[in-house]
Structure 1
Amino acid sequence: MLALVLLLASRLAFALDFVYVAKSERIIDGDTIVADLYLGLNLILDDQYIRFYGIDAWETRGEEREEGLKVKEYLEKRLSKGQIEIEIRPEWGQNGKGKYGRWLSLFYVDGVNINIELIENGHAEEDKKEASK
């Protein structure tokens, strides 16, 4: 947890150029959503797959299904309660995208870091391998 907090804190000073407003279209599971990204100047990227950077949440299929559905429900409620902003950094993954082509992002709702909130509430675990990059 400490590594993720330090990583996030070190990034905050540089985050302003890479923060975008997002509108959640659907929740895939506890660490991936589909959203529209508002880039400014009337530019919108529709239906973008976005992964919560630095965390690993339970899947909605297989043995983890029950826990995964709880996390999905939590996110549906949480992301509907305010303005969503996401931070994408080009140095994460390959130009901000992970191995499956999803944007890697820190999520904020009304200034609250949802990545950390998911860990603190037991809905996800820190992905130490990803957070160390």
Structure 2
Amino acid sequence: MRKLLVLILSLFMMALSFATTIKGKVIKVADGDTITIIEENGDKTRVRFYGIDAPEKKQEYGIKSLDVLKKLIDKKEVDIDVKDKDQYGRIVGIVYYDGMNINLHMIETGNAWWYKQYSKYNVEFEVAEKKAKLEKLGLWKESNPTPPWIYRKDKRK
């Protein structure tokens, strides 16, 4: 029992050591869920928004989603709660501007989907998407918008 407790405590401490926040100025908004920042130490860092997937630029509503995100945070100082690194080496995190969760805001306003595959248990994102759908906000004005993961898959064929 004691060994199990020590193992659990060790894992918890390891998890805490990975929890990190970075700060920086947004220098590029690539699309509705990816930005580049300049960190306080001068490093350029690409950031993919955790738990959301926005329309691709060439996809219907893609430019609108990009524009909404640009108006919110382009050239602004943001805080990023780092969750992971993706297969392309980008930081994956929750982006905050002036205390606002930008990831959540993009879903609430119908400018991005809740990316269930990578954030299954995020009830806040789930509720936000259901509400945006109900209110027909943003991309939900369309009766059956194509999710970006399907759009990307179809483009590869």
TM-score by length of 1: 0.71
Deviation at residue 105 of structure 1 after TM alignment: 0.9
Where structure 1 has 5 or more consecutive residues not aligned to the other structure, the ranges are 1-13, 90-95
Whether 2:37 is the aligned partner of 1:35: answer yes
Whether 2:64 is the aligned partner of 1:67: answer no
C-alpha contact 2:81 2:94 (8 A) present in aligned 1 = yes
Ranked by relative contact order (alpha carbons within 8 Å, sequence separation 6 or more), the top structure is: 1
C-alpha contact 1:81 1:109 (8 A) present in aligned 2 = no
C-alpha contact 1:82 1:110 (8 A) present in aligned 2 = no
SS of alignment partner, residue 85 of structure 2: coil
What does 1:113-132 align with in structure 2 at a 5 Å threshold? 113-132=101-120
C-alpha contact 2:55 2:61 (8 A) present in aligned 1 = yes
What does 1:1-133 align with in structure 2 at a 5 Å threshold? 18-38=20-40, 43-46=41-44, 48-61=45-58, 64=59, 66-80=60-74, 83-89=77-83, 96-132=84-120
Instruction: Considering fraction of residues, name the structure with more strand.
Output: 1
What letter corresponds to residue 87 of structure 1 in structure 2? D
Moved over 6 A (4+): none
Instruction: Considering fraction of residues, name the structure with more helix.
Output: 2
Structure with larger Rg = 2
C-alpha contact 1:108 1:114 (8 A) present in aligned 2 = yes
TM-score by length of 2: 0.61
Name the count of aligned residue pairs.
Answer: 105
Aligned-residue RMSD, C-alpha: 2.1
Where structure 2 has 5 or more consecutive residues not aligned to the other structure, the ranges are 1-15, 122-157
> Equivalent pairs: percent with the same residue?
35
